[in-house]
Homo-oligomer: A and B are copies of this chain.
Amino acid sequence: MRPSTPARTDVRLRGFADLATVASAQEWVDRTARQLPALEVATAAAAGRVLATPLTAPADCPGAARASSDGYAVRAADTIGASAYDPVALRTRDPSGPLGPAAAALVFAGAPLPPDADAVLGFDAAQPSGDHVDVFASVAPGAGVHRVGQLLRAGHPLGAAGRVLDARDVALLCDLGVERVSLVGRPRVRLVIAGPKGGGPRDAHGPMLRTLVARDGGEVETVEVGAEVHGALGRALRSPGPELILVTGRTGTGPDDVAPLALAEAGDLTYHGLNLRPGGSAGMGVAGEVPVLLLPGDPLACLVAYELLGGRFVRRLGGRGPALPHPTRELELRRKLVSAVGLLEVCQVRVVDGGVEPLGLADSGGLAVASRADGFVIVPAPFEGYAPGARVLVHTY
């Protein structure tokens, strides 16, 4: 339509005359997204980050004997002969110093033992009474005690490469004195919001993708919204910095759909048009050194294309597994789920009485329907859907 853009026809044909499969697009993601280099990060700031190299315990844990359960720290020899009929009285002491003979100190699990204690007596075998405790049973040396290195030997594996560190891991590492850990870099993503056709100033994509990129371990570096789209895309695509550029909107085949053309001009438009519903107008390629995903302007199509391709890219860059991060449940389908043969469809579903029912067709309803969904079902291209009673894998929100 524009005499100045003769490449448009090629782009259009390339995109939609022959739809690429989602599988081939995902293979492109897997080939193109190279895990970022490792960097040293303070352990205290490592929660939610990904280990780049395997971690091992730097020292024995505990480094000194400590109580493994609540009770009274004692010298086991002091309890010999104790019974319910003939209790032994031990003076109550604080656990911070030596017990001395015939004494007991209240301790809680994890606390260091008095230096001369060698056992912890459970509450069921002891009864406090004024300044002493009556002990009703003897205890063996070592009972209720964690010996040096009993929990963790120096060199014991603490986490394989690729492990996402959680609050427990970080606390353990801090506790063990591991001050810095080697983590996979955090992927930086640039968003170029070209916006849906006829869209106003409202940007739904930026907030949505910022949230999803963070979920997948990346961070949105900059967001460029609107402006003169073709030029902005060209500039953004050629400007170095991020590990991935996500362009949303203008991905179709109409005269305003400048995104594929801009990518083709800035580098290579490897795929445009996928056998995906919704989200089929997605595309991908490389601008200079930077991989670029083109995500549809329709917010749900954008979400679906991000989930299947963008999230996978970010997770790969950041050393995470490529699989979708949604918890899955296998549930029985309560109503027929209709899908087109030849398209991989992502159908929003709702949980009803322990089963699921589809919320219309994959391409119907957009976000207004998806935000009522409890999850989604992916129907592979060869299937025309599933009959009621089929068990389907639900990716839950």
Contact = CB atoms under 8 A, between A and B. Distances in A.
Interface of A: 1, 16, 43-48, 57, 61, 68-70, 94-96, 106, 108-112, 124, 146, 151-152, 158-159, 166-172, 174-175, 177, 196-198, 200, 202-212, 215, 252-256, 277-278, 280-281, 296-303, 327, 340, 361, 363-371, 397
B278 A110 contact: yes
A151 B70 contact: no
Contact of A299 (B95, B171, B298, B300): B171
A57 B210 CA distance: 23
Nearest to A205: B171
A367 B172 contact: yes
Contact of A371 (B172, B277, B361): B172
How many copies make up the complex?
A: 2
Given A106-B253, A198-B112, A299-B175, A45 B207 contact: yes
Given A94-B1, A109-B363, A298-B111, A151 B44 contact: no
A162 to B, nearest CB: 15
Contacts of A95: 254
16 contacts: A46-B207, A47-B210, A47-B211, A61-B366, A94-B254, A106-B254, A110-B196, A110-B296, A110-B299, A110-B301, A110-B366, A111-B197, A146-B365, A167-B212, A172-B204, A175-B299
